[in-house]
A = this chain, B = another copy of it.
């Protein structure tokens, strides 16, 4: 191989790590629409949010003017345990594809939670601790968020109650055990520990649960128990703020070597990873300082951006959470059992929705089998076994690199590799055995779902 000036992995020193998060909203001319109280139809106030979220996080949720927010020293110390994450030059993938494109990926999987979720979990746990709370509650589906939160709570000695969708609790005992190792109590949802859980069990005996139901249980426990608050791993503005550490590190690493990306690609479920990765780049774009192609990649089975509608909708299937203006498939939309659990959300971050609506970014949807094909190709040359969610970004990055091969363009592509797939081997097995299918919603299904959207705004 030829001489390489850019190393395989660019690591920042601890001194170069970000000391502030970046809040895209400050530079947005069209601010994301506010969350609405589903009862009154009016914007939620700090007072209404504070029984659910702790004070500092309510402030972050509502603040759309402060561009830079200090990262508290305690959080920066924790970040040093698993950050900076490497920005990897995908030399082997480039060679395999025989593309003139230069491909980089920001790898967030080198921690026990296996994903970027830890970046926000530690922040949310810190503010809860600082407020003198006893603990936090949350829901988890596949378990990455629950794992990240249990690690964060263990570090700050906070109680952590995780409501885990019953079917996942039973099918993913390993994830459950990781959370227990970090001292979290993991309850299969629906459970007898809450009123809403009891009600659902009475109405639907034998149900295997849903994320919407787990959210309801976690919120009930947080609001009924003094000293507890509820925390969430995606969608919220505060989460995108914390996740900006991904993009800030990426930008610093690229700047060190004088690299300016042409295309930035991230998978999009609720938006936590994508919003974090693109933050400083979008900032430059919003301020007119630079231009980038920014691409959100979503599963064809749950295509909020590419086939959803921009409207106020409930954030949860149980319709108890606030209303958010976002690209949505309808809160009643049930995506086919796509294995990328982290991308099965019917809606999307309000920030990203507004940016997409304003044509500041693009979106593509990809089918599951082609995603696993890309995942396997990537694993074989780059070594890392990627999470199904992350592999959506790999698919799009490979497609862009192949376009460069055709045109001969030496574009620089950066994508987010959000995590590892070690707990997703059931999906890989289906792919290997040829049992994986692509199920895409019909237009009629979506039309029916849109008809049920709340009539607001």
Contacts and interface: CB of A to CB of B under 8 A. Distances in A.
Interface of A: 1, 7-9, 11, 13-14, 73, 77, 80-82, 92, 110-112, 114, 151, 154-155, 173-174, 177-178, 180-183, 376, 379-385, 420, 422-423, 425-426, 428-429, 432
Task: Give the most central of A7, A177, A182: most B CB within 10 Å.
Answer: A177
A298 to B, nearest CB: 23
Contacts of A379: 112, 154, 181-182
Contacts of A151: 383
A198 to B, nearest CB: 27
Given A420-B112, A422-B423, A82 B383 contact: yes
In the A-B complex, the 8 residue pairs with the smallest Cβ-Cβ separation, listed nearest first, are A174-B425, A177-B425, A8-B80, A112-B385, A154-B380, A177-B429, A7-B14, A422-B422
Given A80-B8, A81-B8, A380-B154, A177 B112 contact: no
Given A173-B429, A183-B380, A422-B423, 10 more contacts: A7-B13, A11-B11, A111-B383, A112-B420, A155-B383, A174-B425, A174-B426, A177-B426, A178-B385, A422-B422
Contact of A112 (B9, B154, B383): B383
Contact of A380 (B8, B110, B155, B429): B155
A427 to B, nearest CB: 9
Contacts of A82: 383
A80 B383 contact: no
A271 to B, nearest CB: 25
Contacts of A110: 110
A178 B420 CA distance: 12
B178 A425 contact: yes
Contacts of A376: 181
30 contacts: A8-B14, A8-B80, A9-B80, A81-B382, A81-B383, A110-B110, A111-B383, A112-B379, A112-B420, A151-B383, A154-B380, A155-B381, A173-B429, A174-B422, A174-B423, A174-B425, A177-B425, A177-B432, A178-B422, A178-B425, A178-B428, A180-B429, A181-B376, A181-B379, A181-B380, A181-B428, A181-B432, A182-B379, A183-B380, A422-B423
Task: Give the most central of A81, A92, A381: most B CB within 10 Å.
Answer: A81
A81 B90 CA distance: 9
A35 to B, nearest CB: 33
B384 A112 contact: yes
Interface of A is mostly: helix
Contacts of A422: 112, 114, 174, 178, 422-423
Nearest to A422: B422
Contacts of A9: 80
Task: Give the most central of A73, A420, A422: most B CB within 10 Å.
Answer: A422
Contacts of A174: 422-423, 425-426
Contacts of A384: 111-112
Nearest to A428: B177
A274 B180 CA distance: 30
Contacts of A382: 81
A81 to B, nearest CB: 5
A180 B432 contact: yes
Nearest to A1: B77
Nearest to A122: B383
Contacts of A11: 11
Contacts of A111: 383-384
Contacts of A81: 8, 92, 382-383
A431 to B, nearest CB: 9
A7 B432 CA distance: 43
A348 to B, nearest CB: 30
Contacts of A425: 173-174, 177-178
Nearest to A386: B112
A420 B379 CA distance: 19
A112 B386 CA distance: 9
Contacts of A7: 13-14, 80
